[in-house]
Amino acid sequence: MITIEGFLSDDSCARIKKEIAKVPFEDGLKTAGVRMAANVKRNLQMDPVKGQHITDELKTFILNDKRLKETVYPKDIGRIFINRYDPGMEYGIHSDAPMMGALRTDLSFTLFLEDPSEYDGGDLVMHYSHGTVTAKPPKGAIVLYSTGVMHRVEKVTRGSRLACVGWIQSFIREESKREILRELNFVKANYITRNGHDFLADLFLKNVGNLERLWSE
C-alpha cells in the first residue's frame, strides 16, 4: 500500500466537492457487476454521465502527476467513480476485477475528498497474508494498492465519507519491479540533492532508464 498525503490541495478538494454537490447520486449496486462485490456493496455513486467532467479532470490530473509517474508508472486509467458512504453504509470484503474492458487493472486507488474528522468509521482495510492494514488519511490523500488485494470499507456511523476510486494499468506490470524502481528513484533524488548532478548521477539515471525500458509494456 502506498499513501501520498497532499495529493490534492485543500482548495482543490473544496472546489471539486462543490462540483460534486451539483450532481445526483445513485445506488452503487449499479456498477457492482457479477463478482463478489454485488453481495457486499452498500454505497452511493455519483451519476457517471452528469459528473463526467469531474472524473475526466481527475483522470487527467492523476495520469500527469509527477509523483505517480515515479511511483506506479500509470499508463491508463480504466474507470473512475465518485462514491459516498452515509451512515449505515459499508463495502464488505472483496477484490476488484482483473480487467475492465481491454484494460488490465494493476492498481486500485482511493482519493479521499472528506476530512476524517467529518465522519466516523469508513476506514479502508486491506487484508494481506501477514495481516490487515488500515487507512483513513487526511482529505486530499491518495491510497494505492495492488488490485488483487482483498479489501473492505468499514461501516460509516456518522457523517459522510466522500472519495474518488479508480483503477490503473501500469507501464510496469509487476509490483516487485515497480518497488525496485520506486526505491531507485528515491535514492536518485536524495543523491542529487546532496551531491548535485555529477557523473555518478548521470550513470544512475542511465541505468534506471534502462530498467524502465526493459520492464515497460
CATH number at residue 48: 2.60.120.620
Q: What is the pLDDT of residue 32?
A: 63
Tell me, what amino acid is at 187?
Answer: V
Using CA atoms, how far residue 146 sits from 1, 28, 94, 153, in Å, is 7, 22, 13, 16
64 in the same domain as 155:
yes
pLDDT averaged over consecutive 10-residue blocks of the chain (217 residues)?
95 96 92 67 95 96 93 94 97 92 95 97 95 96 95 97 97 96 94 95 95 95
184-192: long-range pairs with CB below 8 Å, 24+: 184/208, 184/211, 185/70, 185/71
36 in the same domain as 87:
yes
Q: What is the pLDDT of residue 39?
A: 80
Nearest to 95 by CA among 133, 28, 38: 38
Instruction: Judge contact between 123 and 93, C-beta under 8 A.
Output: no
pLDDT in tens, 95-128: 898 999 899 999 999 999 999 999 999 999 999 9
* Number of domains present in the structure of the chain: 2
Q: Which domain holds residue 160?
A: 2-170
Listed in sequence order, the residues at least 6 apart from 155 whose beta carbon sits closer than 8 Å to its beta carbon are 88, 89, 90, 121, 122
Q: What is the pLDDT of residue 46?
A: 97
Angle, CA 78 vertex, CA 67 and CA 215 arms, to 5°: 55
140 in the same domain as 40:
yes
